[in-house]
Amino acid sequence: MARALVPASEGARLDVRKTYKLYINGAFPRSESGRTYVVSTPAGEPLANAARASRKDLRDAVRAARGAAGGWAERTAMNRGQILYRVAEMLEGRREQFAAEVAAAEGLADRAAREQVDRSTDRLVWYAGWADKISQVLGTVNPVGAPYFNFTIPEPTGVVGVIAPEASSLLGLISRLAPVIVGGNVAVVITSETRPLPAMTLAEVLATSDLPSAVVNVLTGLKKELAPVLAAHADVDGLDLWGAPPSMRAALEEAAAESVKRLARGARSADDGRFDWADDRRAQRPEWIAAFLEMKTVWHPIGV
Amino acid sequence: MHNPAMTIKPAGRPGAAGADETRDERALARGWTGEKGPASWGLGDGQAVPWEYAPAPEARDLARIRPRYGLFINNREVEATGGETFVDIDPSTEQPLAEIARATAADVDRGVRAARTAFGRRWGNLPGRERAKYLFRIARILQERSREFAVLESIDSGKPIRESRDVDVPLAASHFWYYAGWADKLDYAFPGRAARPLGVAGQIIPWNFPLLMLAWKIAPALAAGNTVVLKPASTTPLSALLFAEVCREADLPPGVVNIITGPGEVGTALVRHRGVDKIAFTGSTAVGIQIARNVAGSDKALTLELGGKAANIVFDDAPLDQAIEGIVNGIYFNQGEVCCAGSRLLVQESIQDELIERLKDRLATIRVGDPLDKNTDVGAINSRAQLEKITELVAAGQAEGAELYQPACDLPDRGYFFRPTLFTNVAQSHRIAREEIFGPVLSVLTFRTPSEAVEKANNTAYGLSAGIWTEKGSRILHMVQKMKAGVVWANTFNRFDPTSPFGGYKESGYGREGGLHGLLAYVRLDDD
């Protein structure tokens, strides 16, 4: 819209704008509600109309995710790792596009925005490598005091709701999403409410990265409308609250308790965007993969 | 730990030669050679009569139960604020055992303060090797006083002395032993991360394995450097209060372990207390959800070990003698009052008739009665309320059309006893196939294909455990992969070990107890 103020003067080319939609089940539908909301830069300059997803859209996304959960969990670990790496490759190829979008969304200078994009790509590569290692780090063989072979292995939890960080539109989102899916979970993401556009462009990357349809579903809209539905949804197994508004935390956790959801509650410093997503030591951790893994212990007798 | 629950017992009828001849022939026709043990000796009519057993009671006075118990705070036994008490009942006789202090919110506060002070001053700064030695001491004292604990546990909970003596108490001691060794090795537990204690742990445990659940909670908490406030179940406080004596005997610093007794409200007060950094709960899913709601919005860490409705799946190529014992151990161990009990038997259709017939024979040899009798297999149900719940669900099973079978065994005249119960013709929609009964009640369902077994096994909101019986290795691993359950027993059931992580998927809770993963539940990981 801001860009629309520039008239198509003679000889200048009128640019083709993108309609930002949702990403559900591998497709890019508008909200079934037909609603949109205006997204602006931090300076207040309008950028685009984003889809304002409804509760119905969210339930559709959860159903799609559930359908994809079994297949994704059964992919080999190496295959999951390669697909995540492929996402990084696609991101790298669109470096300039993402830099422009992040700059506009977060009000950053070009260089700072490019840094966010590069970090995002590197973070994906970091997590991609974990796919076939995490079970060797978290798994154990247990020396029980009787003639049994006993071992413990991690498995994905299932459908994980991710409420994406509000301030860090791309790097924050990728830092929360990558550990969820690399472990074999599927995700329903509620993007940053005020900075949703890079996330929807990321959905285009996901759609062209060999990631099976519906492994990641991305919704834009109002967190106060969507997050409570996600938290209360009985077919969601886990919930990442890093991007939940502090004022909603307690209510979301209470709603999540009803179906014994696993929670990633988030650092206190993530509340107001102070968390430094660029700090590799703090912002990428194998524990964050483990947050949505279930440990399965197996016993078998030993005998002739 | 080798769990000897439900060992095979001879089922012959002494002095009835004529009848036995037919019996033997039919048994031989089924492949019994006379050497494998007579589990297949019966006629499938539930009338197999066990040997006459003389009573073999364990000495009750080993338990040395006092008439009155206070709370244990700062290594001292104290009255509850306000001086109220409640009565602890022996479930096998319905007679009062002791008067127990009924804690108030003020007492919870006292306990938490004591734990907080101990964490800040003494325990939190103690070198790991010293914490380790305290835990080793506790393990040793539990071993030394094991029979006393076993007798007390059986009296208070109703479980057979054979189980408290051979399972609960030795396992409790070995949990302290195992975690003792971690106390000075935390730097090696989580590579690249420094494991720090969380602070004060509030722990709430159930009545089915009172001392063992105490050990599962307290041992890893102390090893990691936390202090604890523990609330035992109100129907089984005695072993925890005897454990308080062990803490003193071990010279554990005051305030490191605090034990407060009382009803559910005491647990709620503990969960809500601002001075608590971590809550660990074992119990029903309904209460677990309430606790998670109470913790919502706080910074408290939470682990939940909740209910279950485990499938025990028997394929047509299973080793049947072992499977029968596994099924019996799976559901009748500890009167079925086990969160991971194999309460849904899924049997492949082709072997259903034979398996059920042999299972009925086996049930006829189960001895129900005095928990202190060393021959008892199934003791008393823990409380009148639990007995009523079991009775109600069994009635629902009949009302919904399942077929009930109970062996004709004598029950004691008083006390809370329930016959081992088997339901056939059970549909997945029946309450007895969906709800956790927490009693000696087995629901039998059938399947034709492995994929049908998987679907039925996972068709529950719970996900604590599962059993698989087949001789085919690749099928075991396939089923292991498909089970949405935290513990999978293949060709065995109900085995536990301090090194072996235990806990649930789905609504059976989160977090693990036992092993390295159990330690993780009591630390935060820092960067240095």
How large is the ipTM? 0.94
CATH 3.40.605.10 holds for A22-38+46-301: yes
Do residues B336 and B477 touch, judged by C-beta distance below 8 A? Answer: no
DSSP-derived 3-state class of residue B379: coil
d(CA B170, CA B275): 33
More confident residue, A166 or B3: A166
- Residue B175: closest CA among B130, B128, B124, B209: B209
Confidence of residue A130 (pLDDT cuts 50, 70, 90): very high
| Close Cβ partners of B201 (under 8 Å, ≥ 6 residues apart) | B217, B221, B226, B227, B228, B229, B276, B277, B278, B279, B280, B522
Amino acid at B115: A
Do residues B324 and B477 touch, judged by C-beta distance below 8 A? Answer: no
Answer yes or no: do B492 and A146 touch at CB < 8 A. no
Nearest 10 degrees: CA dihedral of A251, A253, A254, A255? 90
pLDDT in tens, A33-91: 999 999 999 999 999 999 999 999 999 999 999 999 999 999 999 999 999 999 999 99
Answer yes or no: do A146 and B505 touch at CB < 8 A. no
Out of A150, A282, A295, closest to residue B512 by CB: A295
- Residue A114: closest CA among A136, A96, A132: A96
Q: Does B485 contact A at CB distance below 8 Å?
A: yes
Rounded to 5 degrees, φ, ψ at B465 are -150, 170
Chain B contacts of A152, Cβ < 8 Å?
500-501, 515, 517
Answer yes or no: do B297 and A249 touch at CB < 8 A. yes
Q: Does A259 contact B at CB distance below 8 Å?
A: yes
Answer yes or no: do A260 and B527 touch at CB < 8 A. no
Rounded to the nearest angstrom, the minimum Cα separation between B118 and chain A is 27
Q: Mean pLDDT over all residues of chain A?
A: 95
CA B417 to chain CA centroid, Å, is 18
Answer yes or no: do A299 and B516 touch at CB < 8 A. no
d(CA B427, CA B420): 20
Q: Which residues of B participate in catalysis according to the annotation? A: 305, 339
d(CA A122, CA A181): 16
Confidence of residue A9 (pLDDT cuts 50, 70, 90): low
Nearest CA in chain A to B304: A260
CA A242 to chain CA centroid, Å, is 11
Confidence of residue A201 (pLDDT cuts 50, 70, 90): very high
Mean pLDDT (whole number) for B73-92: 97
d(CA B348, CA B352): 6
| pLDDT (0 to 100) of residue A169 | 97
How would you list the strands of the sheet with A216-219, edge to edge? A216-219, A186-190, A159-163, A238-240, A262-264
Amino acid at B75: N
| pLDDT (0 to 100) of residue B8 | 38
Do residues A187 and A181 touch, judged by C-beta distance below 8 A? Answer: yes
DSSP-derived 3-state class of residue B14: coil
Chain A contacts of B502, Cβ < 8 Å?
297
| pLDDT (0 to 100) of residue A7 | 52
Answer yes or no: do B506 and A258 touch at CB < 8 A. no
Answer yes or no: do B501 and A295 touch at CB < 8 A. yes
Mean pLDDT (whole number) for B293-308: 97
CA distance from start to end of chain B:
37
Mean pLDDT (whole number) for B456-470: 98
d(CA A189, CA A61): 9
| pLDDT (0 to 100) of residue B527 | 77
Rounded to 5 degrees, φ, ψ at A127 are -70, -35
CA B277 to chain CA centroid, Å, is 26
Answer yes or no: do B292 and A253 touch at CB < 8 A. yes
Rounded to the nearest angstrom, the minimum Cα separation between B332 and chain A is 20
Domains of chain B (ranges; CATH) run: 64-306+504-526 (3.40.605.10), 308-490 (3.40.309.10)
Mean pLDDT (whole number) for B95-119: 98
Chain B contacts of A250, Cβ < 8 Å?
296-297
Range with lowest mean pLDDT among A158-162, B188-192, B207-211? B188-192
- Residue B421: closest CA among B471, B346, B499, B366: B366
How would you list the strands of the sheet with B85-90, edge to edge? B68-69, B95-101, B85-90
| pLDDT (0 to 100) of residue B16 | 38
| pLDDT (0 to 100) of residue B409 | 86
Distances from the Cα of A222 to the Cα of A163, A186, A227, B333, angstroms: 11, 22, 8, 52
Q: Does B512 contact A at CB distance below 8 Å?
A: yes
Q: How many residues does chain B have?
A: 528
Answer yes or no: do A295 and B486 touch at CB < 8 A. yes
Model confidence at A170: pLDDT above 50? yes
pLDDT in tens, B137-168: 999 999 999 999 999 999 999 999 999 999 99
- A199: its two tokens: 């996330």
Share of chain B above pLDDT 90, in %: 87
pLDDT in tens, A225-262: 999 999 999 999 999 999 999 999 999 999 999 999 99
Judging by beta carbons within 10 Å of its beta carbon (0-12, 13-18, 19+), is residue A78 exposed, middle or buried? exposed
Confidence of residue B317 (pLDDT cuts 50, 70, 90): very high
Rounded to the nearest angstrom, the minimum Cα separation between A163 and chain B is 16
d(CA A202, CA A193): 15
| pLDDT (0 to 100) of residue A272 | 62
| pLDDT (0 to 100) of residue A2 | 46
DSSP-derived 3-state class of residue B299: coil
pLDDT in tens, B218-259: 999 999 999 999 999 999 999 999 999 999 999 999 999 999
DSSP-derived 3-state class of residue B18: helix
Share of chain B above pLDDT 70, in %: 90
Judging by beta carbons within 10 Å of its beta carbon (0-12, 13-18, 19+), is residue A292 exposed, middle or buried? buried
Q: How many residues does chain A have?
A: 304
Which of B510, B525, B527 has the highest number of chain A CBs within 10 A, making it the mutation to test binding with A?
Answer: B510
| pLDDT (0 to 100) of residue B45 | 52
Number of other CB atoms surrounding residue B66 within 10 Å? 14
Q: Does B295 contact A at CB distance below 8 Å?
A: yes
Answer yes or no: do B507 and A298 touch at CB < 8 A. no
DSSP-derived 3-state class of residue B510: strand
Rounded to the nearest angstrom, the minimum Cα separation between B193 and chain A is 10
Out of A257, A281, A299, closest to residue B296 by CB: A257
- A243: its two tokens: 């991007």
Judging by beta carbons within 10 Å of its beta carbon (0-12, 13-18, 19+), is residue B135 exposed, middle or buried? buried
Nearest 10 degrees: CA dihedral of A181, A185, A186, A189? -60
- B397: its two tokens: 């099973």
Distances from the Cα of B512 to the Cα of A123, B291, B464, B479, B505, angstroms: 29, 17, 11, 22, 10
CA angle B114, B115, B118 (to 5 degrees): 85
Which of B287, B506, B512 has the highest number of chain A CBs within 10 A, making it the mutation to test binding with A?
Answer: B506
Q: Mean pLDDT over all residues of chain B?
A: 92
| pLDDT (0 to 100) of residue A8 | 54
d(CA B223, CA B133): 10
| pLDDT (0 to 100) of residue A271 | 60
d(CA B378, CA B426): 24
Confidence of residue B49 (pLDDT cuts 50, 70, 90): low
Chain A contacts of B510, Cβ < 8 Å?
260, 262
Q: Convert B142-163 to b/e letters by CB count within 10 Å (16 or more is b).
A: bbebbbbbbbbbbbbbbbbbbb
Tokens 């000889």: give the residue: A11
Residue B118 belongs to what H/E stretch?
helix B105-118
Model confidence at B1: pLDDT above 80? no
Answer yes or no: do A299 and B480 touch at CB < 8 A. no
- A157: its two tokens: 């939890």
- B34: its two tokens: 């006379």
Do residues A110 and A99 touch, judged by C-beta distance below 8 A? Answer: yes
Q: Does B189 contact A at CB distance below 8 Å?
A: no
Confidence of residue A304 (pLDDT cuts 50, 70, 90): confident
Mean pLDDT (whole number) for B375-387: 98
Do residues B520 and B512 touch, judged by C-beta distance below 8 A? Answer: yes
Q: Convert B231-241 to b/e letters by CB count within 10 Å (16 or more is b).
A: bbbbbbbbbbb
Residue B97 belongs to what H/E stretch?
strand B95-101
Secondary structure of chain A in HEC code, one letter for each residue: CCHHHCCCCCCCCCCCCCCCCCEECCECCCCCCCCEEEEECCCCCEEEEEECCCHHHHHHHHHHHHHHHHHHHHCCHHHHHHHHHHHHHHHHHCHHHHHHHHHHHHCCCHHHHHHHHHHHHHHHHHHHHHCCCHHHHHCEECCCCCCEEEEEEEEECCEEEEECCCCCCCHHHHHHHHHHHHCCCEEEEECCCCCCHHHHHHHHHHHCCCCCCCCEEEECCCHHHHHHHHHHCCCCCEEECCCCCHHHHHHHHHHHHCCCCEEECCCHHHCCCCCCCCCHHHHCCHHHHHCCEEEEEEEEECCC
Confidence of residue B124 (pLDDT cuts 50, 70, 90): confident
Q: Does A118 contact B at CB distance below 8 Å?
A: no
CA angle A100, A106, A110 (to 5 degrees): 40
Chain B contacts of A259, Cβ < 8 Å?
507
d(CA B500, CA A148): 11
Nearest CA in chain B to A237: B506
